[in-house]
Structure formats: structure tokens, C-alpha cells
Amino acid sequence: MGATTAQKIVENGLADVVILDVREGMAQGKALDILESGPLLGFDTRIHGSGNYETIEGSSVVVVTAGFSRKPGMTRDDLLHKNGEIMIEVSRKIRQHAPDCVAIMVTNPMDLMAYMLWKVTGFPRERVIGMGGALDSSRFAYFISEETNTSVSNIQTMVMGGHGDNMVPLLEFSTIAGVSLKKVLDPATLDRLVQRTRDGGGEIVRLMKDSSAYFAPAAAIYSMIESILHDRHRIIPSSVYLEGEYGVKGVFSGVPVRIGNMGLEEVVRLPLSEDEEKSFHKSTESIRQGIETIERLFPDLGRP
């Protein structure tokens, strides 16, 4: 996923990139492979592969994709413990070498890993953003496009909540050419598309068997980076630390946010229906339970 994101960035001339991987030669090989496509595609953007954290010095944006996927026999606590240990180390290195960056968290469980990065780095909440809502919204939009035989350019979607089984697609704020989905699709079809969106990552894992998604996630990450570096102020559903917005405090969860060159500029407040509000609070409560597990597994975790 990281290499695919880097490829999109350099091919579009958005920025110079460093790929960092602790495996000897892996990042260097991928960087060289991408650079060798430059003469064919006509880009002169630079990409550098490294195993040394010092190479991220001064980065404007740092994307974190490091970590393990869940293996057979592993409990969720096992995965959280393994990726949590990695995240503590990565967060300390980011704080040391790129103290002014905007950090985008991708590693799963994403909302919880974003919380850990925020705690360890001590960054203000504006500069730690989790990628999830952009991907979930894009998946929802594609499924609607496929169902209705409509161009994706005519479809706008919004998904809130945790990046997992309890995500909350907002039907009132998801439209085809400005028309609410509820006026276009019947309830049974909408329920089916919502469930497929919630299962979107798992569907790809089942098909690929030994891999998870990376093309669409990379596109979601790219959209966030582009809004930061070009100060686009785009509204992109993302996971941020909530301080009372939507009646929630003290957790990372997906909400519509305005993103610019300093990261989070504003949490956009939408009038949710009673059912949507209940679903969102159920989703955030699940994240809160995960944070309690983090505090138990890593009792010394804290703001520096």
C-alpha cells in the first residue's frame, strides 16, 4: 500500500517521496523500480528508498502503513499488542525526525493506531489523521455506481464512524446527481449496499486470499495528501480525535473534516437522524473499548 501510494504521488508530480522499510533493500528496490518508469511516463519527481528514519527529516506529510495483518489463531488483543509495539517505535521516530509533519495513519486497527500515534508523538490533534472514511466512502460510491449503472462522477457519499464493521454510511448525505439515495434505491437494495461497504475490505481479502486491498486505499491516501500539500480544503471523511463533536469526546473516529496544509482544519457537523446518531455512538463506543485495551496493554503510554 505504501509503495502504491508513493507511485501515485510521483507519477502525478505531487511531491518527492521517501519510502521507508526496515527490511534491507526492500524500499530501495521499489523506489528504483518506480523511478525506472519515469522515462516512459514522463515524470521527473524523485523517490528515495531507505531503511533509515533519518531520511524522513523535514517531511511535510508522513504516511504510516507499517504493521501486521491478523493471522489465523491471533486474537484481536494479539494483533493490537503486536501493532501497538510497532506503533510506539514508529511514533517516537516520527516525533524525532519529522516533528512538524501531518501524520496519516493507515495501519489497522486504524482508529486505535491513530490514537496511539497521537499519544506518543504529542502532536496536536490537527496533525494526526486516520485514513478510513475516504476509502469506505469510495467503496460505497462504486457499489452504488455498479448497481445503478451511473458514472461515479455523479455520485457523492459520506461514511462516518470507525473503520470497521460498525461504520455508518449516511444515506441522507449520499446522492446521485444531488438526489438522495433514499429517493433512488429501495430500502432492501440500500441495506445490501451498506452491508457490502462494511464488508468491503473482507471481500477483497477473501478473493485475493493472501493479500488485502491496496489500490483503493492508496487512492484514498493520495486524496488526503493532495488536499494537504495543495491546501485544497477538501471535505474528506477521516478519523480524527474528537473533542465533543457529535457528542463524542476522547476517541478517534471517522467524521467529515476539512483538510488543508496544516492537516485538520474543521470537523464539519452534519444533522444526523436519530438512527444515524445511535449508530455513530455505537461505533465510537467500540473504539473507546479498544482504547481501554490499549491502556491495559501499554500502561506507560502517554503524552510526552
Domain borders along the chain are 2-130, 133-297
pLDDT digits (tens, 9 = 90+) for 7-64: 999 999 999 999 999 899 999 999 999 999 999 999 999 999 999 999 999 999 999 9
Q: For cell 506503533, name the residue.
A: 87
The question of whether 163 is a catalytic residue gets the answer: yes
Q: Is 130 left (phi over 0), alpha (psi -120 to 50) or beta?
A: beta
**CATH fold of 2-130:** Rossmann fold (3.40.50)
Give me the pLDDT at residue 304, please.
56
| Encoded amino acid at 63, one letter | V
Separation of alpha carbons 229 and 19, rounded Å: 18
Whole-prediction pTM value? 0.94
Percentage of the chain lying above the pLDDT 70 cut: 97
* Choice among 81, 163, 230, 281 that is catalytic: 163
Separation of alpha carbons 77 and 97, rounded Å: 30
Q: Which residues of 252-283 are buried (b: 16+ CB within 10 A; e: fewer)?
A: bbbbbbbbbeebbbebeeeebeeebeebbbeb
For the chain, what is the mean pLDDT? Answer: 93
Average pLDDT over residues 237-245: 97
Q: What are 179's strand-pairing partners?
A: 176
**CATH fold of 133-297:** L-2-Hydroxyisocaproate Dehydrogenase; Chain A, domain 2 (3.90.110)
pLDDT digits (tens, 9 = 90+) for 90-132: 999 999 999 999 999 999 899 999 999 999 999 999 999 999 9
| Encoded amino acid at 262, one letter | M
Band of residue 248 on the pLDDT scale cut at 50, 70, 90: very high
- For 196, residues 6+ apart whose C-beta sits below 8 A from its C-beta are 143, 203
Separation of alpha carbons 93 and 87, rounded Å: 10
